[in-house]
Amino acid sequence: MKRIGFIGLGLMGANIARNIMQGGYPMSVFDPRQESLAPLLEQGAQAVDSPKALAECSDIVFICVPGAPQVEAIVEGEKGLALGAHEGLVIVDCSTSDPTLTRRLNEALATKGVTFMDAALGGTPTQAESGQLQAIVGADEATLEAVRPVLECWAGKILHVGPAGAGHTMKLLNQFLAMGYGAIYSEALTIGAKAGVTPTVFDSVIRGSRMDSGFYQTFFQYVLERDRNAHRFSLANAGKDIRYVANLADDLEVQAGVAHAIKDLYASALDEGAGESFVPELSDIVAKRHGVSFSS
């Protein structure tokens, strides 16, 4: 079986790695946080001391970290994957990263006989646990087919959207929609509250209509029931993702006023120290600025 390496054992990564191990693949892991390693080591994974060492002992390496700076450091930094890379190695980036970086790493590593591809994630931590995430893949057809059996251990749906970088581009467009909804719901609730429309009344009209969605339902599970676990995606990550969207638009010379307005709203919440709050809590932040509270 292919030897698998995994870097980044956070909320999503740990579940993905566990599902790959349950598929019977030998697993080596690297994460500077020892507490993240322990559960997988107990299940039979082997720890290594650097990304370089991980590349040396793996056929396929998965990266699942917060964003582009971390990906770049893991691949090209001191004791990075590139230093241990061998011909035939495939590196699969599951992070929400910058497509420009993805394409550059793909080109740079190709000179070593190494393939760098993206498999951006669609779904929730619950879906990660059950092995039912979406894998939004940017790769050539042959590389995808080579890694497909491993992807199938953790992805209920594999969507091939183009060459390297296309998966991250599509993920950013998805995040543009999601963070846009979060911003719109937050401002709509505050406008409604100032006009005498409660969140309950708002929900009675939207729920079950054409404007209903899975995102809406988990967002409003927090708004109405104050359930923080309903929609566990931090404002820090949301702000980072929508910043990448705005940067991509700028790079492509697209005048994306909406993307920049959404970016500015999330940035203002982060400036207030709300990075560890989850996206639905943006509704409370906007409401508080206008003397409104939904907590009751």
- The amino acid at residue 295 is S
171 is catalytic: yes
Question: Which residue in 95, 112, 111 sits closest to 16, CA to CA?
Answer: 95
Phi, psi of 184 (to 5 degrees): -65, -45
Residues 197 and 209: their CA atoms lie apart, in Å, by 18
User: Helices 166-194 and 214-225 sit at what angle, rounded to 10 degrees?
Assistant: 40
Lookup: tokens for 246: 């705005």
Please report, for residues 120, 223, 227, 261, 278, the alpha-carbon distance to residue 218 in angstroms, rounded to integers and kept in the order given. 21, 9, 9, 23, 11
Q: Are 45 and 29 in contact (CB under 8 A)?
A: yes
Catalytic residue among 52, 157, 171, 288: 171
Cα angle vertex 20, ends 27, 84, to 5°?
A: 40
Residues 191 and 173: their CA atoms lie apart, in Å, by 27
Q: Active-site residue numbers?
A: 171
